[in-house]
């Protein structure tokens, strides 16, 4: 029999597109003792969390609650609950996570239509609207912030167009929620999925979602309460029942709503974490939080460029919380990343598919998005590059970052 | 804008069939800072957890890892990954959670066959074996410990029979794992799902599973690596691809295995919790832990009977960690439960379906399964019953429980 020793983890500076450092307040909240799932003290915590999630999503939607699983569980819960076999789904793809949406929708028997653009680009919204008009799908599923390429798709016109055409819009805002504007109501988005382990700075393991009455109407038409808790009033003959029990939003609603119908056992400690994370976000204020992400983004971008490196995503549609750096010719990207981790305790990311080995991705999200982390990653990257034989402008990166912070302070924008 | 106050939870004595009190060491482990999912320090934690789970499941199976979701996510992951549309599945039902298995399998397009027995009974194993011979299913799915009725189904002969007939056995051991014997290898079970929030005393939010090569062979035949991380070597034409991406065990294996293929972002803090929970279980030792559950079960049973109450599940097939008490004639079960919670801070459970309003369920699981909690629940129940007008044998319950503990001490069985 092998019993391992006590957990002894190194302390890392995590500058990836997630999972990032959790806020210390969130970590502390998780050590709160357990409450039973129907304890009034616990259902109150559920309700308070729903209310705070609505504020983070900038929505008046009634439904805003977490799925108990990692971010992609939120994507699957929404897609599985909305998309029935044969439904037409349009998915514009501009990176890896667009492909993920096709994977999930396809496994629901959807008739998938895609439009694709090169990794590093996003779509002109009119292009998407043209495709909507041509395909006439039931659902548009699209990524907001594509961490694989560091690009962000504007959605304000697309949401409005879907509403006018009677198309349900489903948006993956896993990377952007709590880090930059995700205006669910103003952009007229029908269902939006956020992530915890990125700008929210809550550990991976929950996926906050929100959706409106248009989505709820579809759920009602597919609702089938499970045997064992079903009552005589519950419908049993349903044309296209939702193909997952765990991800069945029509039943999850009854658990998060006043009926409190037993479904899963809510993940107690993760909910404590999410509640505390939402408090931290709202106490900072959404506007201030978004401005903080933009400030540190600028410091990273200027620092990296001052070193003599080029950016893959120095574009107007850049995802503010992810900066993609072109790996210099002749340099082994993985050797640099390993040195950063092993010598400096700093983690940055590589990428997927066509970008694998071509770019590094530096994240600055949530609690990880702060000045000392920015200085650390720039200093470490410069040192690791020099050690790996790269020619860089020595000593310039931190000066450039300092300039950004000093200018911002002078402008009283924020520190 | 509403930002709620700091988390302030009452401290409860949780004597339900879950979620129960988490071990304080587990709660502390969760406040450990985050590691990146591919940080070698983190993948080592993944491997260590797998190794300890194997020991808890008493198996030599290679695959033993958690699904990132609550217990039913583990059930759905196994059923969805194994059961293809049209597959025959036999499900013996002896309580609510048997119905849940039919729900999940049905949503996978399975051809469901059930045998049912009254709530409070279990099956003679020969009855199940006869049904297996008659139905000739691909899969037998069955609950081990049915918390809704407090009954435990013997499985040693059934597992062997399935092996001989080439049937895959899938067992829901959510309630029993780490609380009583679940001998995966000795009983020849093919896939077993455990829970965290019961005898494991880890918060809800993960579902440890294990499965053998027979299951892995089915997964391989259905494997389809997702776009965005797929390589040329990965098959794309699959007859019956797994209908969930999140619960696709063939892809989860590649994330938990040496290929470390990106799938979800492992729930960092919950994995810390599970690792610590497994350490606590193995340090106590499985045999000692099971004996502790039996000891406190006996004290609860004797205490309740000494009060003059009767048990619903005073049967040889009683689930050791759940004692079901018949609500006395004329007593409002919910009024007693509310008083226990509100005045004494003690939670016990009601039940579902035909047993709703007829029994209380007193759990004694994991960290909640200890002497002071047993005394508290017996004393509180007696007081709440008297206050609600019941005639009970006053003062006898704690004397009976003390007798059990003193006898056990005298026999040096354990304290």
Min Cα–Cα distance to chain B from A21, Å: 6
Residue recorded with tokens 């899938």: B170
Instruction: Tell me the chain B residues in contact with residue A30 when contact means C-beta distances shorter than 8 Å.
Output: 27, 30-31, 269
Of A321, A398, A323, the C-alpha closest to A359 is A323
CA distances from B304 to A211, B17, B310 (A): 48, 17, 7
Residue from B4, B284, B365 to probe the interface with A (highest A Cβ count within 10 Å): B4
Residue among B204, B243, B265 whose CB faces A243 most closely? B243
Q: How confident is the model at residue B232 (pLDDT cuts 50, 70, 90)?
A: confident
Asked if B245 lies within 8 A of A32 by C-beta distance, the reply is no
Residue among B9, B29, B108 whose CB faces A33 most closely? B9
Q: What is the pLDDT of residue B204?
A: 98
Taking residue A130's Cβ as centre, other Cβ atoms within 10 Å add up to: 13
Q: Encode A144-156 in three state secondary structure.
A: CEECCCCEECCCH
Instruction: Tell me the chain A residues in contact with residue B52 when contact means C-beta distances shorter than 8 Å.
Output: 2-4
User: Which positions ≥6 away from B226 have C-beta within 8 Å?
Assistant: A99, A100, A103, B245, B251, B263
Inter-residue contact B98 to B143 (CB < 8 Å): yes
Sheet containing A111-116: order of strands: A63-67, A207-211, A191-194, A168-173, A139-143, A88-93, A111-116
Q: How confident is the model at residue A401 (pLDDT cuts 50, 70, 90)?
A: very high
Min Cα–Cα distance to chain B from A109, Å: 9
Nearest-Cα residue of chain A relative to residue B27: A31
Nearest-Cα residue of chain A relative to residue B107: A243
Of A104, A38, A10, the C-alpha closest to B18 is A38
Q: What is the pLDDT of residue A414?
A: 55
Inter-residue contact B87 to B80 (CB < 8 Å): no
Residue B291: which H helix or E strand, with range?
helix B286-306
Query: ∠ CA B193-A241-B102 to the nearest 5 degrees?
Result: 35
Q: ipTM of this complex > 0.95?
A: yes
Tell me the pairing of strands A139-143 and A168-173. parallel
Residue A191: which H helix or E strand, with range?
strand A191-194
Q: What is the pLDDT of residue B414?
A: 55
Q: Residue A332 and residue A12: Cα distance in Å, rounded?
A: 22
- Both ends of chain B: CA-CA distance in Å? 53
Asked if B7 lies within 8 A of A103 by C-beta distance, the reply is no
Inter-residue contact A58 to A405 (CB < 8 Å): no
Q: Residue B255 and residue B251: Cα distance in Å, rounded?
A: 7
Nearest-Cα residue of chain A relative to residue B228: A96
Residue among B48, B204, B265 whose CB faces A265 most closely? B204
Min Cα–Cα distance to chain A from B214, Å: 24
Q: Residue A182 and residue B7: Cα distance in Å, rounded?
A: 27
Q: Residue A26 and residue A41: Cα distance in Å, rounded?
A: 19
CA distances from A22 to A285, A367, B40, B70 (A): 18, 6, 19, 22
Instruction: Tell me the chain B residues in contact with residue A268 when contact means C-beta distances shorter than 8 Å.
Output: 19, 197, 203-205
Helix (H, G, I), strand (E, B) or coil at B376: helix
Min Cα–Cα distance to chain B from A233, Å: 14
Q: What is the pLDDT of residue B233?
A: 82
- Chain centroid to CA B61: how far? 19
Nearest-Cα residue of chain A relative to residue B281: A3
Of A202, A360, A187, A183, the C-alpha closest to A270 is A202
pLDDT average, residue stretch A290-301: 98
- Chain centroid to CA A395: how far? 34
Tell me the pairing of strands B207-211 and B63-67. antiparallel
Helix (H, G, I), strand (E, B) or coil at B269: helix
pLDDT average, residue stretch B82-96: 97
Asked if A205 lies within 8 A of B269 by C-beta distance, the reply is yes
Q: Which two tokens stand for residue A288?
A: 């201030």
Q: What is the pLDDT of residue B61?
A: 98
Residue among A16, A108, A269 whose CB faces B205 most closely? A269
Residue from B267, B284, B373 to probe the interface with A (highest A Cβ count within 10 Å): B267
Of A77, A216, A224, A215, the C-alpha closest to B107 is A224
Instruction: State yes or no: pLDDT of A413 exceeds 80.
Output: no
Instruction: State yes or no: pLDDT of A236 exceeds 80.
Output: no
Min Cα–Cα distance to chain A from B406, Å: 30
Q: How confident is the model at residue B413 (pLDDT cuts 50, 70, 90)?
A: low
Inter-residue contact B28 to A30 (CB < 8 Å): no
Residue recorded with tokens 């300890």: B52
Of B178, B370, B36, the C-alpha closest to A340 is B36
Instruction: State yes or no: pLDDT of A415 exceeds 70.
Output: no
Q: Residue A276 and residue A282: Cα distance in Å, rounded?
A: 10
Taking residue A129's Cβ as centre, other Cβ atoms within 10 Å add up to: 19
Min Cα–Cα distance to chain B from A237, Å: 13
| Between A22 and B232, residue with greater pLDDT | A22
Q: How confident is the model at residue B186 (pLDDT cuts 50, 70, 90)?
A: very high
Q: Which two tokens stand for residue A224?
A: 């089938």
Of B222, B170, B280, the C-alpha closest to A6 is B280
Instruction: Tell me the chain B residues in contact with residue A205 when contact means C-beta distances shorter than 8 Å.
Output: 68, 205, 267-270
Asked if A69 lies within 8 A of B72 by C-beta distance, the reply is no
| A-B contacts (CB, under 8 Å) | 281
Inter-residue contact B241 to B84 (CB < 8 Å): no
Q: Residue A84 and residue A209: Cα distance in Å, rounded?
A: 19
Asked if B270 lies within 8 A of A270 by C-beta distance, the reply is yes
Q: Residue A108 and residue A240: Cα distance in Å, rounded?
A: 11
Q: Residue B147 and residue B71: Cα distance in Å, rounded?
A: 13
Q: Which two tokens stand for residue A267?
A: 């993940």
Inter-residue contact A275 to B2 (CB < 8 Å): no
Task: Please give the share of chain B, as a percent, with pLDDT higher than 90.
Answer: 93
Of B37, B135, B29, B150, the C-alpha closest to B89 is B135
Q: Which two tokens stand for residue A164?
A: 């006018």
Inter-residue contact A273 to B31 (CB < 8 Å): no
- What domains appear along chain B, each with residue ranges and CATH number? 23-281 (3.40.640.10), 286-410 (3.90.1150.10)
Q: Give percent helix, percent strand, percent coil of chain A, each to the nearest 5.
A: 40, 15, 45
Residue among B103, B265, B283 whose CB faces A3 most closely? B283
Q: What is the pLDDT of residue B381?
A: 98
Asked if B12 lies within 8 A of A3 by C-beta distance, the reply is no
Inter-residue contact B100 to B69 (CB < 8 Å): no
CA distances from A272 to A202, B108, B275 (A): 10, 33, 20
Q: Give Dmax (Cα) for chain B.
A: 74
Q: What is the pLDDT of residue A113?
A: 98
Asked if B33 lies within 8 A of A27 by C-beta distance, the reply is yes
| Between A228 and A81, residue with greater pLDDT | A81
pLDDT average, residue stretch A116-129: 98
Which pTM does this prediction carry?
0.97
* DSSP, res A103: H
Of B230, B249, B268, the C-alpha closest to B43 is B268
Task: Please give the share of chain A, as a percent, with pLDDT higher than 70.
Answer: 99
Residue recorded with tokens 């579809």: A218
| pLDDT tens digit sequence for B308-364 | 999 999 999 999 999 999 999 999 999 999 999 999 999 999 998 899 999 999 999
Residue among A16, A28, A204 whose CB faces B266 most closely? A204
Q: How confident is the model at residue A239 (pLDDT cuts 50, 70, 90)?
A: confident
Inter-residue contact A59 to A52 (CB < 8 Å): no
Residue among A100, A203, A243 whose CB faces B226 most closely? A100
Inter-residue contact A267 to A234 (CB < 8 Å): no
Residue from B246, B263, B280, B344 to probe the interface with A (highest A Cβ count within 10 Å): B246
Asked if B32 lies within 8 A of A7 by C-beta distance, the reply is yes
Q: Residue A281 and residue A275: Cα distance in Å, rounded?
A: 10
pLDDT average, residue stretch B123-134: 98
Q: What is the pLDDT of residue A81?
A: 98
Min Cα–Cα distance to chain B from A55, Å: 7
Taking residue B239's Cβ as centre, other Cβ atoms within 10 Å add up to: 7
């Amino acid at each position: 029999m092998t019993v391992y020793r006590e957990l002894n983890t190194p302390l890392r500076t995590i500058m990836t597109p997630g999972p990032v450092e959790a806020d210390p307040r969130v970590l502390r909240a998780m050590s709160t003792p357990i409450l039973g799932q129907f304890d009034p003290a616990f259902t109150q915590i559920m309700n308070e969390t729903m209310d705070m999630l609505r504020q983070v999503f900038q929505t008046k939607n009634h439904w805003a609650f977490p799925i108990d699983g990692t971010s992609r569980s939120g994507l699957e819960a929404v897609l599985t609950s909305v998309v029935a076999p044969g439904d037409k789904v349009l998915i514009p793809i501009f990176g890896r996570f667009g492909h993920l949406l096709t994977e999930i929708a396809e496994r629901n028997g959807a008739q998938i239509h895609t439009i694709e653009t090169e990794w590093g680009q996003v779509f002109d919204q009119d292009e998407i609207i043209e495709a909507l008009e041509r395909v006439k799908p039931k659902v548009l599923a699209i990524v907001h912030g594509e961490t694989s390429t560091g690009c962000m798709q504007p959605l304000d016109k697309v949401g409005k167009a879907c509403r006018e055409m009677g198309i349900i819009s489903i948006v993956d805002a896993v990377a952007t929620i709590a880090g930059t504007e995700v205006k669910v109501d103003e952009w007229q988005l029908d269902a939006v999925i956020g992530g915890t382990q990125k700008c929210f700075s809550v550990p991976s393991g929950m996926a906050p979602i929100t959706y409106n009455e248009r989505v709820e109407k579809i759920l009602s038409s597919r609702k089938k309460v499970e045997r064992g808790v079903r009552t005589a009033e519950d419908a049993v003959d349903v044309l296209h029942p939702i193909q997952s029990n765990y991800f069945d939003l029509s039943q999850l609603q009854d658990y998060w709503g006043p009926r409190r119908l037993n479904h899963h056992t809510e993940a107690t400690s993760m909910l404590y974490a999410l509640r505390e994370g939402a408090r931290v976000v709202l106490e900072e204020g959404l506007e201030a939080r978004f401005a903080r992400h933009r400030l540190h983004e600028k410091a990273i971008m200027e620092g990296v460029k001052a070193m003599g490196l080029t950016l893959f995503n120095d574009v107007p549609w850049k995802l503010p919380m992810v900066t993609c750096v072109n790996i210099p010719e002749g340099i082994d990207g993985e050797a640099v990343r390993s040195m950063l981790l092993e010598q400096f305790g700093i983690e940055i990311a590589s990428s997927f598919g066509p970008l694998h080995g071509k770019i590094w991705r530096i994240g600055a999200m949530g609690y990880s998005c702060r000045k000392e982390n920015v200085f650390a990653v720039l200093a470490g990257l410069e040192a690791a590059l020099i050690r790996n034989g790269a020619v860089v402008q020595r000593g310039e990166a931190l000066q450039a970052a300092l300039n950004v912070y000093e200018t911002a302070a002078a402008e009283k924008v924020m520190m």
